[in-house]
Amino acid sequence: QVQLVESGGGLVQPGGSLRLSCAASRSTYSLNDIAWYRAGSGNERDPGPVAYITSSGRTSYADSVKGRFTISRDNAKNTVYLEMNNLKPEDTGAYYCNEVRISDIGTITAVLGSWGRGTQVTVVF
Selection from 98, 89, 84 nearest residue 9 by Cα = 84
Q: What is the pLDDT along the chain (125 residues), one digit of tens a residue?
A: 778 999 999 999 999 999 999 998 877 778 899 999 999 988 899 989 999 999 999 999 999 999 999 999 998 899 999 999 999 999 999 999 999 999 999 999 999 999 999 999 999 99
Quick one: pLDDT at residue 42? Answer: 81
Calpha distance 87→124 (Å, rounded): 10
Calpha distance 19→38 (Å, rounded): 14
Calpha distance 77→22 (Å, rounded): 10
